[in-house]
Structure 1
Amino acid sequence: MAGVLAGAGLWGLSGTAAQQLMQGYGVTPQWLVTTRMLVAGLVLLLASPWLGARDRLAPWRDGASRRQLVAFALGGLVGVQYSYMASIALGNAATATFLQYLGPAFVTVYEVLRWRRRPRNHEVAALLLALGGTLLLATGGSVGRLAVPAGAVVWGLVSALTLAFYTVAGAGLLRRWPAALVIGWAMALGGAAMGIVAPPWHPGPRPVPWDGVAAGLWSFVVLGGTLLAFTLYLVSLRHLRPSQTSLLACMEPLAAAASATLWLGVPFTPPMLAGGAAVLAATLLLSSRMATGPQRPAAAG
């Protein structure tokens, strides 16, 4: 349990560190996603034998898994990573993280439509909470204006949609292969694809010169907020049910909100706090009804 709490807290703090890099040093979301995914993915693959995955190439020898892994990496992981960073760059880490946590609500809508069933009572309540929370986060309680830039809200919602796809697409892979292999290969493949758009050796124009603080922030985003956070989360999956880890992972948006407010001075009004609480309540309501289910892919944020 401590591992999940620590991992989720690191994810939340890394969002605030990424905000400082992008808004304070001019680092682009594309470059940050490229370097984050490449470094973390390659290191995770190197460490996979110590995480229960000795044959690194096993998923590539199975045709169905190979196709699913490519879709999971390019359509899911790249999508959720980039849209999350873009939302932070235009807004702030706290709002972006809370909006991303609408992902489970989108998964519920997908399941209702796919199986053509009526939504259960707790699902209706969760969707209403998610909708109300989104409106409060976006408007700050003032109808007619946005509390954060419209682009940040749009990218945040895209992040939630891609997180939903990421969760659904990764479930079959995680049942078949060790999570270290699935996430490691997805990160490495996604980072390589992003490198075509934003090569790791070309961070783009930087109005503020790169210094030791920037290097430390980048190292924390890549190593602490990605690699270490995922490893702690992965190790904890051996001892907790997936539904329990989803509940504990709600530490991520709380850490992002607290660090963005205390560290960067991001204004987070009471209505926005209420909106974030409503989104978390929706996530908790959906997760608490999952007695059994597929593992939730980690390292979304």
Structure 2
Amino acid sequence: MELAHKMPNRVKGLMMVISGAAFWGLSGTAAQVLFQEKHITAEWLVVLRMMVTGISLLLVSIIKGMTPFAIWKDKKGCMDLLIFGIIGMLGVQYTYFAAIETGNAATATLLQYLAPIYIVLYSSAKERTNPSKEIWLAVLFALAGTFLLITNGSTNGLKVSFISIIWGVLSGIALAFYTLSSARLLKRWHSIIVVGWGMLIGGTCMTFFTFPFEHSQFVWGLDTLLLILFVILFGTLFAFLLFVESIRHLSPTESSLLSSVEPLSAVIASIAFLNVSFGVFQAIGGICIIFTVLILSIKKERMKDEHMMEKSS
């Protein structure tokens, strides 16, 4: 009876995390259409996406009975939040969209997915510990996957523009910083509040570099508006809320593992809807990068279990 009672919630959690990850991945493809066919700029879309999402998440937090403005009474929390919003949140948002604008959504998403490698290498260097065999294996898969992704197995030339590769790598580094810089905040404040303020802070800062109402060169139409709404609502706001809600029904590790649907959906959508050329070796490279995340997620869960056993003994 207990198993039957728990099953619906687990299925609900699975559907939420898979849907959220798929929305994230598909939003990259929608953004590629906006950049390449509608002449929308990455800067303009980043400002709009962050401002609307930030305000929406803070309103959600108020509806849920939270106190989003209380974080500003904590001086240490204020500084952490500003760093997270300006460098972490804005950094990861802009570099990701810039990678799409100069390349394609599939490659940009997969290169961003290298973030866990940067995190474990940084942690190993900071703690002055030798990486384990699993980590070295993950690094090997990441390097092989990246090489195949950007060259399709040939050394004659790159299959993706060099500037897009740079933006993609920076996106992964920014995501690593985003993850590490948010850790201390998330111990004290709900993720909806942290991400909401981070989005709003980052979006506000971005307005100093681009004017949100300057869009004379854009190709407007119903399809343009629908794509923008999809990127903001489904690809950002709903995707995040679905992921947060899924953790109530699944373990964080399960949610992280299932979020690998994000790069898969970006690749499939790019091939199906945008006719993006994706060779066999590039596909193998993408699988290697996703496998890297799986290795590191399993390693992290095992270390957590060992730590719990040590504390209980």
Number of the residue aligned with 1:271: 281
What is the aligned counterpart of 2:162 among 126, 130, 150? Answer: 150
CA radius of gyration, larger in: 2
1:50-61 correspondence runs (5 A): 50-51=63-64, 54-61=66-73
CA-CA distance at 1:21 after TM superposition = 0.1
CA-CA distance at 1:31 after TM superposition = 0.5
The change in CA–CA distance for 1:234 and 1:50 in structure 2 (over 3 A counts) is farther
CA-CA distance at 1:223 after TM superposition = 0.7
Query: Could you list the per-position Cα deviations for residues 21-64 of structure 1 after superposition, in whole angstroms to 9, with x for gaps in the alignment?
Result: 0011111111110000000110111111345x510112111111
CA-CA distance at 1:242 after TM superposition = 1.8
2:51 maps to amino acid = L
Of 197-206 and 182-191, deviating more is 197-206
Query: What secondary structure sits across from 1:240 in the alignment?
Result: coil
Number of the residue aligned with 1:298: none
Number of the residue aligned with 2:294: 284
* RMSD between superposed Cα atoms in Å: 1.2
Number of the residue aligned with 1:260: 270
Number of the residue aligned with 1:33: 46
Is the Cα contact below 8 Å between 1:96 and 1:156 reproduced in 2?
Answer: yes
- Distance in structure 2 (CA, Å) of the matches to 1:83 and 1:166: 12
- Distance in structure 2 (CA, Å) of the matches to 1:146 and 1:5: 32
Query: What secondary structure sits across from 2:129 in the alignment?
Result: coil
What is the aligned counterpart of 2:215 among 195, 200, 203? Answer: 203
Is the Cα contact below 8 Å between 1:134 and 1:275 reproduced in 2?
Answer: yes
Number of the residue aligned with 1:100: 112
The change in CA–CA distance for 1:85 and 1:204 in structure 2 (over 3 A counts) is farther
- Distance in structure 1 (CA, Å) of the matches to 2:186 and 2:242: 17
- Distance in structure 1 (CA, Å) of the matches to 2:66 and 2:180: 25
CA-CA distance at 1:84 after TM superposition = 0.4
Number of the residue aligned with 2:226: 216
Is the Cα contact below 8 Å between 1:27 and 1:204 reproduced in 2?
Answer: no
Is the Cα contact below 8 Å between 1:56 and 1:181 reproduced in 2?
Answer: yes
1:5 maps to amino acid = I
1:233 aligns with 2:243: yes
1:111 aligns with 2:123: yes
**Where do 4+ consecutive residues of structure 1 move more than 6 Å?**
none
CA-CA distance at 1:144 after TM superposition = 3.1
Query: Could you list the per-position Cα deviations for residues 251-281 of structure 1 after superposition, in whole angstroms to 9, with x for gaps in the alignment?
Result: 0000000001001111111110001000000
CA-CA distance at 1:238 after TM superposition = 2.0
- Distance in structure 1 (CA, Å) of the matches to 2:29 and 2:90: 19
- Distance in structure 2 (CA, Å) of the matches to 1:87 and 1:29: 9
The change in CA–CA distance for 1:41 and 1:276 in structure 2 (over 3 A counts) is same
What is the aligned counterpart of 2:90 among 78, 91, 102? Answer: 78
- Distance in structure 2 (CA, Å) of the matches to 1:204 and 1:97: 29
Higher helix share: 2
- Percent identity between matched residues is 41
Is the Cα contact below 8 Å between 1:78 and 1:190 reproduced in 2?
Answer: yes
Query: Could you list the per-position Cα deviations for residues 192-224 of structure 1 after superposition, in whole angstroms to 9, with x for gaps in the alignment?
Result: 111111122113633xx2100000000000011
What is the aligned counterpart of 1:19 among 3, 7, 32? Answer: 32
1:68 maps to amino acid = D
Q: Where does the alignment leave 5 or more consecutive residues of structure 2 unmatched?
A: 1-13, 306-313
Query: What secondary structure sits across from 1:73 in the alignment?
Result: helix
Query: Could you list the per-position Cα deviations for residues 117-147 of structure 1 after superposition, in whole angstroms to 9, with x for gaps in the alignment?
Result: 0000100000110011111111111113100
- Distance in structure 2 (CA, Å) of the matches to 1:204 and 1:68: 37
Number of the residue aligned with 1:136: 148
Q: Where does the alignment leave 5 or more consecutive residues of structure 1 unmatched?
A: 294-301
Query: What secondary structure sits across from 1:173 in the alignment?
Result: helix
Number of the residue aligned with 2:56: 43
What is the aligned counterpart of 1:167 among 179, 183, 186? Answer: 179
- Distance in structure 2 (CA, Å) of the matches to 1:203 and 1:101: 31
1:112 maps to amino acid = S
1:126 aligns with 2:138: yes
Is the Cα contact below 8 Å between 1:28 and 1:204 reproduced in 2?
Answer: no
